[in-house]
Each structure stands twice: as C-alpha cells, then as structure tokens.
Amino acid sequence: MSIFDIIGPIMIGPSSSHTAGAVRIGLAARAIIGGDLSGAVITLHGSFAETYHGHGTDTALVAGLLGMKPDDERIPDALQIAWEKGLKIQFQTGDLGDTHPNSVQLELISPDGTKRCIKGASIGGGDIIITGIDQFQVDFTGKNHALIISYRDQPGMIAKITALLATENVNIAAMRVSRTAKHFEALAVIELDQPVPEKVITRIEQAPDVGTLIVLPQTLLGEDV
C-alpha cells in the first residue's frame, strides 16, 4: 500500500469520488476524442445525478474535458472557462442501467465534427474505470499506457497487432476485445507496461482492416499528468 492509497489523491475538493474522480473521467474522455471539444452532452447517473451540484461533479467533469489535473486551482472556474472558450455543454440526469452509482455518459463533439460517446465511473479514492466507448463495452482504468484500436473483425487481427508490439518488446499488461458482430467492427483496448515506439504505432495504423488508433499515456490519470 502506498501513501497515495492512505491519504488519497492530491486534488481540489470536496470529494475524491465526486470531484477528483470526475476530473479524471473528463481527462480520459478528452484523450479518447483526441483533445479539444466543441460540445458535450453529459448524462449523470445514480449518486452523481443526486449530488452533482453540491459536490461540484459538473464543474470537475468539465475541468477534465478542458485538460485540467485534479489539483488544478482553476477547477472551480471550469464552467466559466468553458463558456469563454465557446464550449457548449448540456447537463442532464438519467438511468444508465446496471452500473456503478457514480457513473456518467459523455457525448462529445470535436471541432472537426468527430463524435464519441464515452461512459465511465468514479469508483473511490479518485480512481476511475472507463466502461464504454461508443457501442463497445470496455474496462480500463487509465493507469497504464494503452492503445485503443478499432478494426474490422477478421481471423488473426489480434495476433498481427500483438506481433507488432512484440517486435519492440512491448509487454501487454491486459487486453479486452469487443465487437458488434462477427466480421464487423471491433475494438481492442490493450494496456501496456511501456510506451509504444512511433514506428510500431505507424505500422499498426497502416495494417489492413485497422480503422482508428488512440494512444493513451500512462500519466493520463496520474498525479503527474
């Protein structure tokens, strides 16, 4: 057990679950869509829906979407900063189904028109889990280096991708694969022990049947983001 586990995250309060965790969900969503946004519809579920005003969950989520860390002193002003930047944000409450009570869905639009729907939960102590990307179920914490790869489901696709990683001795810590149907669109989230060299990323991107590739750094949700 580390000192971080005992005293909790370095953060702007009031709550590690409702504030620091919410910032980190926003940070993860920002990374997944690739940076700046033009709009967001944010649906809060369960405990998040009941207490988000009092605990500043709405402000914290927007702070993360703006790229702020959990200890950023600007967090209380995040909604005003977003408004000044022209970021259009709509909050609503809703039932996201059988999921953690501190869950949220973020429907995001980037300036180039790219749309992503990301679901996540704050599970305590500032830790989070990302549970959905668009139509795919995922399960990762953002604490490791990771690749998020969309591709057309074909025999041997995962073997090809992991073989490319092995050429540079990149070790896989965890992996989850989801697909819409056999031989249709699929998504792989591959958590790694170290960053992936650019030349390997390029080779994966150029592989037949690969769609998009998102690179998430290990420091995405750490104290030194």
Give the lowest-confidence range in 13-17, 79-83, 214-218. 13-17
Residue with more model confidence, 16 or 84: 84
Give dist(CA 127, CA 117) in Å, integer: 20
State the DSSP code for 129: E
Give dist(CA 37, CA 23) in Å, integer: 15
* Residues 185, 186, 187, 190, CA torsion sign: negative
State the DSSP code for 195: P
Q: What was the pLDDT predicted at 221?
A: 54
Backbone φ and ψ of 175, nearest 5°: -150, 140
Q: What share of the chain is helix, strand, coil (3-state, %, to 5)?
A: 35, 35, 35
Domains of the chain from N-terminus onward: 3-134 (3.30.1330.90), 145-219 (3.30.70.260)
Between 46-55 and 57-65, two packed helices, what is the crossing angle to 10 degrees? Answer: 90
> What is the distance in angstroms between the CA of the first residue and the CA of the last residue of the chain?
21
Q: What was the pLDDT predicted at 12?
A: 47
Per-position b or e across 43-58, b if 16+ CB within 10 A of its CB:
bbbbbbbeebeebbbb
Cα 105 to Cα 116, 146, 168, 173, 211: the distances in Å are: 10, 21, 36, 26, 23
pTM for the predicted model, two decimal places = 0.85
C-alpha Rg value of the chain to the nearest Å: 18
Report, as an integer, the average pLDDT of 57-86: 93
pLDDT in tens, 18-49: 688 999 999 999 999 999 999 999 999 999 99
Three-state DSSP class for residue 71:
coil
Between 57-65 and 21-33, two packed helices, what is the crossing angle to 10 degrees? Answer: 30
Residue with more model confidence, 10 or 221: 221
Is the pLDDT score of 192 beyond 80? yes
Q: What was the pLDDT predicted at 143?
A: 86
pLDDT in tens, 53-69: 777 899 999 999 999 98
Q: Which of 87, 77, 75, 93 is nearest to 20 (CA)?
A: 75
* pLDDT cut 70: percent of the chain above it: 88
Is the pLDDT score of 223 beyond 60? no
Is the pLDDT score of 159 beyond 80? yes
* Average pLDDT across the chain, whole number: 88
